[in-house]
Structure 1
Amino acid sequence: MRKFWIVFSHTYLSRVKTKGYIISSAIFLLIICGIFYIPDIIERFTGEGEEPVVAVIDETENQQLYEALSSGAEDYQPILFDGNEDEAKQAVENEEYEGLLVLNQSEQNLPEAVFYGMQLTNSTSDDMEAQLQQIKVAQAASQAGVDEAAMQEIYAPVSFERQSLDKEAKTEEELAGSYGLVYILVFALYISVITYGMMIATDITNEKSSRVMEILISSSSPVSQMFAKILAIGMMGLTQLALIAVAVYVMVQIRGQELSGGFFDFIGIANASPVTLTFALIFFILGYFLYAIICAGLGSVVSRMEDVQQLVSPIIFLVMGAFFLAMYGLNAPDSTIIVVASYIPFFTPMIMFLRIGMLGVPSWEIALSIAILVATILLIAWISAKVYRGGVLMYGKGGSFNQLKEALKLSGNIKNKSK
């Protein structure tokens, strides 16, 4: 056991002291701080808060359209331009105005408009078009003899309320807050599994290629080394997550009063559920161990760094498949394929977590999926230990799954000789 902890501490400390780990952790912390200051950053660079000014030339009688437009303008400021169209267009090119709006009336005495701007994609023109549409509807209704009260009744939104009969189902407010949070945590789980899984495989292969492995296996058992490395790199990942969690907590305390609305409502930080975060941690740990154990076994049968990617790539594709399935599940969390996939061990960490975050999943379903996942991890750990025992002694060109059979045979021979 002492040798296990020696390998564990050496792997952990050597990893967390590397420049790459320190720099990546610092980048993550800066990103977290940046996320909490996104509204301020957007306002600083876009000048949000200053209403764009639009030049208006109204060719209608008594400039009635301009008056109607000015009375309802909220996100922009229309200014009646004293000049012709060419002068107004030149003023727009000189950035004196956001754009130019030329108002007129059709043969049916309904509003018509042409907007001139530097670019066709302009949010201000969209706002003006929407307001002119309302003015057109009001004028058309007036010409048809429909009074304003009747029009308001026609366009009033229908009363439509959703109520769930399942007591465990989430409310609309909870779903709105969970959507973005689940998306971010699923993406973080996807990146973490790939990153740390590949790290284990490359670490083992690097030790073999540098012949350090020969020294290690003479001082401690290969299986002990494998699980020490898996645990050490997993702890390194949890250390990074802990730093991020502390940064989020600190920023919530600093910016807590400014987190409501817009971006923060979408990602769910303002109303993050402790249950959702707890299951995120549980499935992160289980998902990590599942894929890390597989990668450790695969990394042990190759001795060249260029062969690692070839052997581990099917596992990466499997993780990517789970991620893309989770992205589909965000819009259909109760679909049959999502429910079935949540019980498939290789998909469970992401898909079951998705269902927990988006739906009211019964406790027995959660317990069953975790039990299947844990049983699969134990089975794969038993197989990977056998592969690792023989794989660390194999050298030469590798990169195919035939090496797994050879590693199992070599592991059996070693076990028989030890008896």
Structure 2
Amino acid sequence: MNKFWVITKEVYKKNIKSFGFLAMVLSPLVLVAFIAGLTYYFSQEEQVGPDTSIAVISEDDTINEMFKNQEWDFQVDEEITTEAEAEEALLDESIAGYLIADVENTIVDGQLIYTDDFSEQSGLIQESLSNYQMMLRADQLDLAPEEVAALSEPVSLDEKYVDIEEGTLTEEDFSDQMIQQGGAYFVSIAIMVFIMTYAGIIAEEVANEKGTRIMEIILSSASATNHFFGKLTGVMMVLLTQIGIYVIIGFGAYMYFKDADIVQSVLSEIDLGAILQELLSYTLIFFIVGVLMYVVLAAFFGSLATKMEDVNKAVTPIVFMALIGFYVGIFAFNSPDNTFVEVFSYIPLFTPFVMPFRIAADTVSTLGVWLSITGTFVFAILISFVSLAFYRSNVLIYSDTNLLGTIKRSWSIMQSNRKARKNRG
């Protein structure tokens, strides 16, 4: 056991101190910081004030006052008073558009000419003119302000999202479903990223020692079992360290920026506690099991490589399997009750990618979820011991044959060793 921890510690220290680990940790943080910076910049741009100008041409004083005195997301050029001047200013691009509005018999007739820069404001202008027309008609009908307010009061619409289960309607929280779908996307992308990263690390760890013939010296003082699980544990500790760094930085950033206006506006629209609860339940389980399972496979395939140049070819099958699971998971988002999706959600190699989307869509029972989790755990344990058995046989094999040929040769050696142990017994 002491040799196991020595191997684990060496793997952990070597990767933690490497420049690759620093780049691996910082790259997502730089991306998040860049996106957050852009979001903050554009939000500040909106708060600085409108710089788009239009001209309002009307003989009705009330309309002129309404556009001059109210707060808009644009400015009104008061110097332009005729249609000809407005058209010339629009051609010069000194204004983004102009409004011509007339009132006749309580009917407001408006014409808005604008460029693409002003397209988002047309709805607000139409709404304001409609409200003014309603006020004119209310005055004509001699309606009190309270009666006008009653006429314009919006309809109260109580929305309920329901799901059909065994012939009965069950009320669902739509925001909760959105959180679950977001969690499913998060776990699929995270698993894919960590598999691509750490499968390469564990494969290189094994192939590097094997390619430099150091493996023969190591295995003369430590068993293949200690070496195999020591490498796995060391790499998984590096992974947990990276996740821990993100958790600490995320918590620190939240505590520092939690009082900012933009953060408060986001938090007012989402339930942060519900998101954390969702991510820390099934999503976290599938993430851990999924990454662990593929890292074990990467250690096995890495042992098949004779030199470092063969690592990429050795881990190619793992990458393809992960890509299949990822794309089936994306397909499951649109068709969670598809038979194809249902079958793939119970295949252990694809379960971490597919099952979270079925959970989000509520197309699987709690029993089905735990059956998939149990099956994935059992498969991960089984593949660990199968990989260990092959690892013991092929870790000292130096062959220039293809991947399949190396596996066949490892199988033959494993069978021969088993027969030899039986004869000695």
Question: Normalising by structure 1, what TM-score?
Answer: 0.80
Structure whose CA Rg is larger = 2
Q: After superposition, give the CA deviation of every residue in 1:154-195 in whole Å (9 maximum; x if it has no partner).
A: x85755432457699751232344443443343122201221
1:146-161 mapped onto 2 (5 Å cutoff):
156=155, 159-161=158-160
CA 1:244 to 1:346, structure 2 compared with 1: closer, same or farther past 3 Å? same
Structure 1 residue 385: deviation in Å?
1.9
Match of 1:50 in 2: 48
Range moving further from structure 2, 327-336 or 65-74 = 65-74
C-alpha offsets along residues 224-280 of structure 1, whole Å, 9 cap, x if unaligned? 3222211211111011101111222222223334434348957x6464233532433
Instruction: Summarize deviations over 1:359-381 as a string: whole Å, max 9, x none.
Output: 49643222201111122122322
**2:232 aligned residue:** 230
Are the equivalent residues in 2 in contact too, given 1:200–1:299 (CA < 8 A)? yes
Alignment of 1:160-239 (within 5 A): 160-164=159-163, 170-239=172-241
How far apart in 2 are the matches of 1:72 and 1:340?
60
Q: Counterparts of 2:337 and 2:133 in 1: how far apart (Å)?
A: 45
Once the 2 structures are TM-superposed, how far is the Cα of residue 30 of structure 1 from its aligned partner?
Answer: 5.2
In 1, Cα distance between equivalents of 2:319 and 2:331: 19
Which residue of structure 2 lines up, in the alignment, with residue 25 of structure 1? 25
Say whether residues 1:387 and 2:387 are aligned partners.
no
Match of 2:300 in 1: 297
Root-mean-square deviation (CA, aligned residues, Å) is 3.9
Q: 1:144 to 1:328 in 2, by over 3 A?
A: farther
Determine helix, strand or coil for the equivalent of 1:49. Answer: helix
After the TM superposition, which of the residue ranges 279-288 and 64-73 deviates more from structure 2? 64-73
Q: Structure 1 residue 33: deviation in Å?
A: 6.0
Find 1:102's aligned residue among 90, 98, 118. 98
- Per-residue displacement from partner, 1:269-319 (whole Å, max 9, x unpaired)? 464233532433322221122111211111111213333222322321221
CA distance in 2, matches of 1:264, 1:231: 41
Rate the CA distance shift 1:355–1:134 in 2: closer, same or farther, 3 A: same
TM-score (norm 2): 0.79
- The amino acid across from 1:4 in the alignment is F
CA 1:341–1:81 in structure 2 vs 1: closer, same or farther (change >3 Å)?
farther
- Residue in 1 that maps onto 2:145: none
Query: Counterpart amino acid of 1:101?
Result: G
Identity %: 23
Q: Distance in 1 between matches of 2:185 and 2:72?
A: 33
Residues 70-128 of structure 1, C-alpha deviation per residue, up to 9 Å, x if partnerless? 687643333334272476347746xxxxx42123479x985332224xxx4x4xx2322
1:38 shift after superposition: 6.3
Alignment of 1:68-147 (within 5 A): 74-82=72-80, 84-85=85-86, 88-89=89-90, 92=93, 99-104=95-100, 110-116=109-115, 120=116, 122=117, 125-134=118-127
1:96 aligned partner:
none
Q: 1:73 to 1:325 in 2, by over 3 A?
A: farther
Report the alpha carbon displacement of residue 18 of structure 1 after superposing the two structures with TM. 0.8
Q: Decide whether the 8 Å contact of 1:391 with 1:407 is kept in 2.
A: yes
SS in 2 for 1:351: helix
Q: Which amino acid aligns with 1:129?
A: S
- Please give the residue correspondences for 1:292-331 in structure 2 after superposition, counting only pairs within 5 Å: 292-331=295-334
Of 286-295 and 80-89, deviating more is 80-89
The answer to whether the Cα contact below 8 Å between 1:32 and 1:244 also exists between their aligned partners in 2 is: no
Q: CA deviation at 1:63?
A: 7.4
Query: Taking structure 1 as reference, are residues 63 and 311 closer, same or farther at Cα in structure 2, changes over 3 Å only?
Result: farther
1:352 maps to a residue whose letter is M
Aligned with residue 345 of structure 1, among 333, 348, 357: 348
User: What one-letter code is carried by the residue in structure 2 that aligns with 1:323?
Assistant: F
Of 55-64 and 397-406, more deviation after overlay is shown by 55-64
CA–CA separation in structure 1 for the residues paired with 2:34 and 2:252: 13
Q: Which runs of 5+ in 2 are unaligned?
A: 142-147
Q: CA deviation at 1:144?
A: 12
Distance 1:293 1:30, change over 3 A: same
How far apart in 1 are the matches of 2:96 and 2:132? 23
Matches within 5 A, 1:274-293: 274-293=277-296
Partner of 2:77, secondary structure, is strand
SS of equivalent to 2:258:
helix
Q: Compared with structure 1, are the counterparts of its residues 126 and 291 closer, same or farther at alpha carbon in structure 2 (3 Å cutoff)? A: same
